[in-house]
Amino acid sequence: MKLSPIALGLALLPLGLSAQAQLGVHEHGHGQLNLALEQQHLVLELTAPAADIVGFEHEAATDAERAQQAAALEKIRQADALFTLTPAAACRLEKVELAGDEHDDHDHDQHDEHKHDDHDQHAHGDDHDDHDHSDVQVHYFYHCEQPQALNRIELSLFEQFPSFNRLEVQGILPSGQVAATLTPAQPQLSW
């Protein structure tokens, strides 16, 4: 599957995003969904605060946190439970990639000592290193038999992850660009 033009399109999407999204402002409850459709290939890129997906942003320190994180990351991989695409487009999920999956395999022990020392700072947001404001980024790759019929996407993300209250959507389609702000009250984008 050749996705280089779509990957380029996704890379260029931030150029058209709002200033808040461009600057990488991290705000709990708010995420970003980019979409790109080229020929029969659809890519959705979801970026959300880890606190809204996992329930915390620090590195999982206990078995309970690791189990909570694993369950949440498995849940975010379930595209069919998060997105409903126009049925007539006959889009089939081909692959899901969670950015940083290799992070899950690194040696947690090397960070445990430091993490215990500043756990209270992380929990209260007083420390400003990268772990304080971590995001989850997932790419969903679809093949659509009738891409011309694809004219809407509805999100169940708000139901699956209730701490979400806003999702900024930007898209590149054969017909042009689309943009919307989706909320629990308005979870659908049509074009």
181 Cβ contact list (under 8 Å, min separation 6): 166, 167, 168, 169
Strand partners for 189? 153
What's the full length of the chain, in residues?
191
As given in the structure block, the two tokens for residue 86 are 């126009």
Query: Mean of the per-residue pLDDT values for the chain?
Result: 79
What pLDDT does 7 receive?
A: 53
The residue extents of the domains of the chain are: 4-190
Residue 12 predicted with pLDDT over 70: no
What pLDDT does 133 receive?
A: 64
The pTM of the full predicted model, rounded to 2 decimals, is: 0.74
